[in-house]
Amino acid sequence: MMKVDIHNHILWNIDDGPKEISETIEMVKNAVAQGITHVIATPHYKKGILECEFSVILDMVNKVNQLLQNENIPLSISAGMEIQLYRELSEDLVKGNSLFTLNGNNKFVLVELPNSYIPTYTEQVFFEMQLNGFIPILAHPERNMEFIRDPNKLINLVQKGTLVQISARSLLPKHNRKIANFAHQMMKHRIAHLVSSDAHDTNNRPFLLNDVYTSITKKYGKSYTSYLTKNATHVFFGEEFSIHPPIPVKKFLNLF
C-alpha cells in the first residue's frame, strides 16, 4: 500500500533538519518503520533569507535514493519545498525561479504562513496562484494564532480553493495543548485535507505518521484516515481531487 508524506525536512545541511547525511539515513529508517513508502522532501524556502538552488536539492535527493537502492531500503524520495509566503510568490512560480512544486508535478505548492498573524496579501496571492494553475497547500495552519482566534478565516481560504495540511504531532495529546485542541477542531469541521509528519529528526520531531493515522482511525473512523492517505497520494501524482466541504464555525471555539 502506498503511503506518502508530503512535508518533512529529511535532507541534510540545508535548513533546520539533519546536519549530516548519516542523520538523514536514520530518518529514512524512521519513515520506513512508520510504513511510509514515498517521501517528498520539503526544505524551507524563505525569500531573501534561505534560498537553496533547486539543482542542489535534486542532487541530494538523487544521492539518497541511490543509497536506498543500494541498501534495498523500500523508500523513494522526491523533491519539493516548503515556501514561506511572500507577495511575489505566484509571479515567481510562473517564471520558475527555482521554486519547487511538490514532486515537480507543477500543480501543488506547499506554503507556510507566520505563526502569529495572516499576511494581508495571503488571499490575493493564493487567488493569483490558482489563476496560474497552482494549488496552494497551507502547511500547519493549526499553529497560526489568528486562525485559532477565528477559524472561519481558515475556512474562507478553503472555500476559495486552498488545501490544508496538519502536522502529525499537532494531533497528539503530548503536543502544545492550544495547538492540539485547534487541530482536532479542524478535523471535526473538515478543514483538514492532509496529515504529514513535518519531521526534522528522529528524536524531537520524528515522522510519527502511522502512529497518528492509527489515532485518527480510532477517533474519527477508518474512512477519514483513508480520505487523508488518498489525498496525499493524489498530491504526489499531481492529481486534483474533491474535498469534504468544511463545516462553518458558528461561534469562536472555546479552546482554552
Residues in a beta bridge with 41 = 79
Model pLDDT for residues 170-223, shown as the tens digit of each residue: 998 776 889 999 999 999 999 999 999 999 999 989 999 999 999 999 999 999
Q: How far is CA 177 from CA 114, 142, 154, 182, 191, in A?
A: 19, 11, 20, 9, 19
Residue with the bigger pLDDT between 14 and 52: it is 14
Dist. CA 205–CA 218, nearest whole Å:
23
Please check the confidence at residue 51 and state whether its pLDDT lies above 50: yes
Dist. CA 222–CA 241, nearest whole Å:
19
Cβ atoms 235, 137 nearer than 8 A: yes
Structural domains in the chain, sorted by start: 4-237 (3.20.20.140)
In the chain the first and final C-alpha atoms are separated, in Å, by 39
| Residues contacting residue 177 through CB under 8 Å, at least 6 positions apart | none
C-alpha cell at 221: 473512523
Model pLDDT for residues 72-131, shown as the tens digit of each residue: 999 999 999 999 999 999 999 999 877 889 998 889 999 999 999 999 999 999 999 999
Cβ atoms 82, 112 nearer than 8 A: yes
| Residues contacting residue 210 through CB under 8 Å, at least 6 positions apart | 3, 34, 35, 36
* Burial status of residue 215 (CB atoms within 10 A of its CB: 0-12, 13-18, 19 or more): middle
| pLDDT, position 69 | 94
Dist. CA 149–CA 222, nearest whole Å:
30
